[in-house]
Amino acid sequence: MQTRVSDLLLRAGVPPERPWISTFHSMCARILRREAVHAGLAKDFAIYDDDDQLAAVKLAMAKLQIDDDALTPRNVLSRISYAKNHAQTPEQMRQRRSGRTRGRWRIFMRGTRRCLKQSKAVDFDDLLLRSARLLRKYRRSREVAEPVCVFARGRVSGYESRAV
């Protein structure tokens, strides 16, 4: 794929720099590693997979002494991910929830953020969020990532489309 894209670029008169061929998450991780200081991250930040994220939620729930059968760690993680992908802050998340769990969502989200920060880690949602923020805020970061041509298969999230 790398060779085919390079050949196409050469034929189109584009300088033969090596193009980035990657998934959204891989591209975002690459940008964040390159621009870690501007993103507020350590150069050696970790990327949490689903199991790591679930463990972080469980840890946050334990630290907050929340033991509620109605709120499973998987459910909490799913709602946090939804909130992040819809650019909801912890406060907005709290306002949009109702019932007895309403006040907990902000606490869950903040607790999970704190756990990630202490571990010098980001989750998959944060890769997209932080990259989109970085590309909007710093011109140099945009220049590093340009030009970009993206072929997406399946559903593209709001942050993926904003990153492009």
For residue 40, pLDDT over 60 is answered with yes
Confidence label for 13 from pLDDT (cuts 50, 70 and 90): confident
**Structure pTM?**
0.71
Nearest-5° Cα angle at 52, 62 to 137 = 105
Q: What are phi and psi of 90, to 5 degrees?
A: -55, -35
Q: What is the pLDDT of residue 97?
A: 57
Contact 2, 101 (CB under 8 A): no
The sign one gets for the Cα dihedral 50, 155, 18, 125 is negative
Nearest-5° Cα angle at 21, 16 to 25 = 145
Per residue in 86-95, pLDDT (tens digit) is 777 777 766 6
Q: Is the peptide bond before 73 cis (omega within 30 degrees of 0)?
A: no
Nearest-5° Cα angle at 156, 71 to 124 = 50
For residue 149, pLDDT over 70 is answered with no
Q: What is the pLDDT of residue 42?
A: 92
Which letter, b or e, does each residue of 124-150 get, where b requires 16 or more Cβ atoms within 10 Å of its Cβ? bbbbbbbbbbbbeeeeebeeebeeeee
Q: Which amino acid is at 17?
A: E
Q: What is the pLDDT of residue 106?
A: 74
